[in-house]
Every structure is written in structure tokens, then in C-alpha cells.
Structure 1
Amino acid sequence: MEEETSSSNRPPLPDHLSVDPRSPHHVAAVFEHEVGIRFNDKERHDVEEYCISEGWVKVPAGKTLDRKGKPLMIKLKGKVEAFYL
């Protein structure tokens, strides 16, 4: 890799990222580092997926599960910023 993004050689944060490995928006190289999400100027620690350009995050809706046993997600719209910790 000749591309240098920072002193610790982290990959650039994508516009759309998901923590689900089965998602087409999952980038495993990004998750080798700690990633932080700021939503409407407040840090969130429960974000499962985000899109900066469209301005939304997906977070679990409490302890509610869908029929497959996964947390039910809700989409919140607002200002999204992603950064490395």
C-alpha cells in the first residue's frame, strides 16, 4: 500500500459504513482501528451503520428484536461525522 492517510497508515473512512460483515458497506480494514461517530454534535457509541453524504445513522431500537433475532434498527437523520479515535 503506497497510499498514506495518516501517521499510523489508517484507511480512509468511507462515506457509507456498516458494522455487519454481510453488508456490502462493511470495510474490514477500517474496523482494525477504533472509529468514532458524532451525530448532531454528540458522540454516539451505538451506531450500526452510517452515511455521511445522506446524513443518517442506524441505531438499535431499544431491546426490540426482529424475527431473525437481530436488533430492530431505526434510522435517524442529521449531521454525521466519522473519525478515528
Structure 2
Amino acid sequence: MTDTPPDHLSIDPSSPYFDQPTLERGIGIRFKGVERKDVEEYSISEGWIRVALGKKVDRHGRPLTIKLSGPVEAYFQTGGDTVADEGDDAQA
């Protein structure tokens, strides 16, 4: 695995930009200098993120999203060799 996250990533399994091993490793997103936890999809080179629009869903049950433009920074939350299997009890 590389130490740089992919340029374009989505959490939707039907998207061509979905990558399960990368998502399991953990991706952090900083958008306009603010840490975001609600990102559905991002593109670093194009400078945008997609976030859910409240609790609204489309007719297929997928969340409605809105595209926000601005500087995007992505980083891995865990190292390349370790996978966080400990769960929430490891926050001590």
C-alpha cells in the first residue's frame, strides 16, 4: 500500500471509485481547513466533496448529496501495516 490516499474515492459500493481495502484503512478528509466526517465522495484534483443532504433519500433509498467546491486534503488515519480491529474500546 502507498502512503498517499487515492485522488478520487467513494463510499458507495456501486461507484467505480469504491475501494474497500482503502476505506478499511481509514481516510480522513480536511475540506477548507476543517475536518469533515460526513463525506460520501471526494476528488482532490478537481477540488470537491459530496456530503449527504440531511436525512433525505432518493427513490432508491440512497442519500441525496450536494457537491461542495474548495481545497480538499485526504490522509490515512492508520498506518499501512495495521488494521484497527480493536473497536471502540481501544480509545483509553
Please give the range of the TM-score, normalised by the shorter of the 2 chains: 0.7 to 0.9
Partners of 2:7 and 2:29 in 1: CA distance:
12
Match of residue 68 from structure 1: 60
Q: 2:70 is matched with which residue: 70, 78, 83?
A: 78
Aligned length: 77
Q: Residue 28 in 1 paired to residue 20 in 2?
A: yes
CA displacement at 1:69 relative to structure 2: 1.4
Q: What letter is aligned with 2:29? A: I
Match of residue 10 from structure 2: 18
Q: How does 1:37-52 map to 2 (within 5 A)?
A: 37-52=29-44
User: Where does structure 1 lack aligned partners over 5 or more consecutive residues?
Assistant: 7-11
Report runs of 4+ in structure 1 exceeding 4 Å deviation. none
User: Where does structure 2 lack aligned partners over 5 or more consecutive residues?
Assistant: 78-92
Q: What letter is aligned with 1:28? A: Q
Q: Aligned to 2:5, what secondary structure does the other structure show? A: coil
Identical aligned residues as a percent: 55
Q: What letter is aligned with 1:60? A: A
Q: What letter is aligned with 2:10? A: S
Q: TM-score, normalised by structure 2?
A: 0.77
Match of residue 5 from structure 1: 2
Please tell me the root mean square deviation across aligned C-alpha atoms, in Å. Answer: 1.3
Partners of 2:37 and 2:5 in 1: CA distance:
17
Match of residue 56 from structure 1: 48
